[in-house]
């Protein structure tokens, strides 16, 4: 009986381990933004992003807490915290709760501005500004993002501040050595749910650059 129990326990642990290994990549198999890789050097890429629609929220505080708080607000919107505008015969608009589900995309992006951390999701390509429902939370802003030229570095591991800073410095150094003018603050992008094993995660640091580079 003891041997059978041990075998069952080992089987359960293996099942949990396999699930942990596979679940992150499977859950991350969602729509990504469209971009064209212009040049590549190891894990560093020059990219041209097409215009896209994003949902964003600004959160103050430390980076780690801010992305968690921003993610919750954006998740509430795409999981049904929204309404649609309905035109009446008199020409006015009324808001009708829809609880419309919007498909999850990746990555979650994080950018620091003077008034706090901007956390954003890309909206699925099937939607336009006209077809997307309105957020119930006024802090969630739906807007169109213009085309971008960026330089990006990919890396795995945790999204800890230390790991991010290491790769941010690598990207800055590469840009300086290759006379690439970077603009503004770094953009952090995280593609996987938090339960993904660190070795299987895809993280990125990006800087906007002059489109001529």
Q: Is-contact 110 183, C-beta < 8 A?
A: no
Q: What is the pLDDT of residue 16?
A: 41
Q: What is the pLDDT of residue 1?
A: 55
DSSP, residue by residue, 41-61: ETTEEEEEEPPEEEEEEEE-S
Find the radius of gyration of the CA atoms of the chain: 21
Determine the topology of domain 2-209 in CATH. Answer: Multidrug-efflux Transporter 1 Regulator Bmrr; Chain A (3.20.80)
- Read off the tokens for 33: 């933004």
Q: What is the pLDDT of residue 211?
A: 57
Q: What is the pLDDT of residue 104?
A: 93
Separation CA 63–CA 69 (nearest Å): 10
Separation CA 130–CA 115 (nearest Å): 28
Separation CA 205–CA 151 (nearest Å): 8
C-alpha angle 198-199-200 in degrees, rounded to nearest 5: 90
List Cα–Cα distances, 210 to 46, 183, 198, in angstroms.
Answer: 11, 8, 33
Pick the closest to residue 204 from 175, 179, 181, 170 (CA basis).
170
Q: Is-contact 173 131, C-beta < 8 A?
A: no
Separation CA 37–CA 197 (nearest Å): 27
- What predicted TM-score, i.e. pTM, was given to this entire model? 0.83
Pick the closest to residue 207 from 189, 190, 187 (CA basis).
187
Which phi-psi region, left, alpha or beta, contains residue 157 (left: φ > 0; alpha: ψ -120 to 50)? left
Q: Is-contact 131 174, C-beta < 8 A?
A: no
- Find the helix or strand (DSSP H, E) in which 183 lies: strand 182-190
Q: What is the pLDDT of residue 91?
A: 53
Q: Is-contact 156 201, C-beta < 8 A?
A: yes
Q: Is-contact 119 63, C-beta < 8 A?
A: no
For 156, phi and psi rounded to 5 degrees?
A: -100, -170
How high is the mean pLDDT in each 10-residue block of the chain (213 residues)? 51 42 53 96 97 97 95 96 70 69 95 95 94 95 97 96 97 96 97 90 95 48
Q: What is the pLDDT of residue 12?
A: 44
């Amino acid at each position: 009986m003891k041997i059978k129990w041990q075998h069952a326990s080992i089987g359960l642990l293996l099942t949990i381990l396999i699930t942990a290994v596979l679940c992150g990549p499977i859950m991350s198999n969602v729509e990504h933004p469209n971009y064209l890789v212009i040049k590549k050097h190891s894990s560093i890429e020059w990219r041209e992003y097409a215009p896209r629609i994003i949902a964003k929220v600004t959160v103050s505080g430390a980076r780690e807490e801010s992305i968690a708080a921003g993610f919750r607000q954006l998740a509430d919107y795409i999981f049904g915290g929204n309404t649609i505008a309905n035109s009446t015969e008199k020409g006015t608009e009324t808001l009708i709760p829809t609880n419309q589900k919007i498909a999850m995309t990746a990555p979650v992006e994080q950018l620091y501005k003077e008034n706090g951390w901007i956390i954003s999701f890309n909206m699925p390509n099937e939607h336009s500004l006209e077809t997307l429902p309105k957020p119930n939370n006024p802090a969630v802003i739906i807007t169109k993002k213009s085309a971008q030229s960026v330089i990006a570095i990919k890396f795995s591991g945790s999204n800890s501040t230390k790991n991010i800073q290491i790769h941010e410095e690598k990207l800055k150094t590469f840009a300086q050595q290759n006379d690439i003018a970077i603009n503004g603050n770094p953009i952090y992008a995280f593609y996987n749910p938090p339960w993904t094993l660190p070795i299987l995660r895809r993280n990125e640091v990006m800087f906007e650059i002059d489109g001529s580079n």
